[in-house]
Amino acid sequence: MSADDHELRSFGRRRGRKPSARQVSLLREDLPRFSFDPAKPPEGFRQNWLEIGFGGGEHLLWQARQNRDVALIGCEPFEDGVIKVLTAVTTENLENVRVHMGDVREILKSVAPGTIDRAFILFPDPWPKRKHRKRRLVNSSLLKLLARVMRPGAELRIGTDIGDYARTMLEAFATEPAFEWQAATPADWRDRPLDWPETRYEAKAVREGRRRYYFRFLRR
Ligand SMILES: C[S@@+](CC[C@H](N)C(=O)[O-])C[C@H]1O[C@@H](n2cnc3c(N)ncnc32)[C@H](O)[C@@H]1O
C-alpha cells in the first residue's frame, strides 16, 4: 500500500438537489457558526465525540440530543446531509454540534493528539467493485490517523453491512496495535448496542436482508 492511498476519494457525490434559498442561507450563515475548527476544539463540554460520514445525520443528532454535555463533531462532504443536520441544530438549539463539511482526513491531520473521546463510522461507503476497493475509508492509514487523535481508553464504533468490508477492516485492526477489538462472543458484534440508534443505511440493509456487523474497539 502506498503512502498516498488514504488520499483517494472515499465518498461519492458532494451535492444532490439544488438547495433552496433557506438552505443556501443555512450554509452561508449558520455553517460558519457551527463549523469545527481543529485548532480550537469546542470548550465547556465533558467529551468530544466524532462521527465520520454522518449521511442524513440520524445518529449524530440522536447522540447530540441524548448527550447535551458532549460535543458532537460531525464530518460529511455531502451537502444535503449537512443541510439536514444544520436544520435540526438551528431549530432545536443543539449548541453541542460542530460540523466539518468535507473529508474527515483533513481534520484528523490537524487536531491535537488525544482530542477525541469517542468516534463513530457507521456504514461507510462499500465501494463494492474490486477496482474501487482502494477507496474504502477504513484502512490502515485511517487507523493511524485515528490512533493519534483518540485518547487512550477512547472507543471507536464501526458498523457495516458488507461482509467483505468487515473482513478487511478486521485485518487492518489486527495489524494496528493501538486498537483492541471488544468482542468476547458473537453477540458482541451481531447485536447493535442500545445507545447506537439505527441510521438510514442500516435501515436499508435491514430491508434488503443483509447481515450487519457492529464493531467496538478501544484505543489502548
Ligand atoms: C454509505 S453512507 C452512510 C451514511 C450514514 N452513516 C448512515 O449510516 O446512514 C457513507 C457516508 O460517508 C461519507 N464519507 C465518505 N468518505 C468520507 C470522508 N473521507 N470523510 C467524511 N465523510 C465521508 C459519504 O459522503 C456518505 O455520506
Averaged pLDDT, groups of 10, the chain, 220 residues long: 63 92 96 96 97 98 98 97 98 98 96 98 95 95 98 98 96 97 95 95 97 98
129-182 pLDDT, tens digit per residue, is 999 999 999 999 999 999 999 999 999 999 999 999 999 999 999 999 999 999
Distance CA 71, CA 64 (A): 8
Neighbours of 171 (CB within 10 A): 12
The DSSP H or E segment spanning 86 is: helix 79-92
42 CA to centre of ligand 1 in angstroms: 23
Alpha-carbon distance of 149 to 112, in angstroms, equals: 6
**pLDDT (0 to 100) of residue 17:** 87
**Cβ-based neighbours of 3, under 8 Å, separated by 6 or more:** none
Specify the pLDDT at position 76: 98
Cell of 124: 461507510
Domain 5-219 falls in which CATH fold?
Rossmann fold (3.40.50)
CB 64 within 8 A of CB 97: yes
Tell me the backbone φ, ψ of residue 116, rounded to 5 degrees: -100, 130
Distance 105 CA to ligand 1 centre (A): 12
- Phi/psi at 187 (nearest 5 deg)? -60, -25
pLDDT of residue 7: 77
Phi, psi of 199 (to 5 degrees): -100, 170
Residues framing ligand 1 (Cβ under 6 A): 10-11, 52-56, 75-78, 81, 103-105, 122-125, 137, 199-202
Q: Kindly report the number of other CB atoms within 10 A of residue 186's CB atom.
A: 8
Show which residues are catalytic. 125
Alpha carbon distances (Å) from 27 to 32, 104, 150, 152, 154? 8, 18, 29, 35, 31
pLDDT at residue 1 in the model: 40
